[in-house]
């Protein structure tokens, strides 16, 4: 049986919607996400393209959550 993909840290970061209707994430959460990506790159020995794919994947996941949070 195939295991589901690891959702990454972006799935667990706190997002809040402010009075302006925009989603926000704290500086600490951003720092945690960057540290997670850096650690994963170091631990797995990813090359530059794979590292860029990891960052893009986390950014996409965060964008999807932000859209879902603010959708009417």
| Distance separating alpha carbons of residues 20 and 18, to the nearest angstrom | 5
Asked if residue 66 belongs to a domain, the reply is: yes
Task: Give the count of domains, the chain.
Answer: 1
Asked if residue 12 belongs to a domain, the reply is: no
pTM for the predicted model, two decimal places: 0.74
Asked if residue 58 belongs to a domain, the reply is: yes
Higher pLDDT, 4 or 70: 70
Which structural domain, as residue segments, surrounds residue 49? Answer: 36-72
pLDDT band at 14 (very low <50, low <70, confident <90, very high): confident
User: Tokens 């794919």 sit at which residue?
Assistant: 53
Q: Answer whether 16's CB lies under 8 Å from 65's CB.
A: no
Asked if residue 16 belongs to a domain, the reply is: no
Higher pLDDT, 7 or 64: 64
Q: Which long-range contacts (CB under 8 A, 24 or more apart) does 58-63 make?
A: 58/8, 58/9, 58/10, 58/33, 59/10, 61/7, 61/8, 61/10, 61/11, 62/10, 62/13, 62/15, 62/25, 62/33
Asked if residue 23 belongs to a domain, the reply is: no
pLDDT at 4: 53
């Amino acid at each position: 049986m195939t295991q589901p993909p690891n959702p990454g840290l972006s799935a667990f970061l706190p997002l809040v919607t402010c009075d302006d209707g925009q989603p926000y994430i704290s500086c600490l959460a951003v720092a945690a996400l960057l540290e997670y990506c850096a650690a994963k790159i170091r631990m797995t020995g990813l090359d530059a393209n794979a590292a860029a794919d990891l960052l893009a994947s986390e950014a996409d996941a965060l964008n999807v959550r932000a859209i879902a949070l603010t959708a009417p």
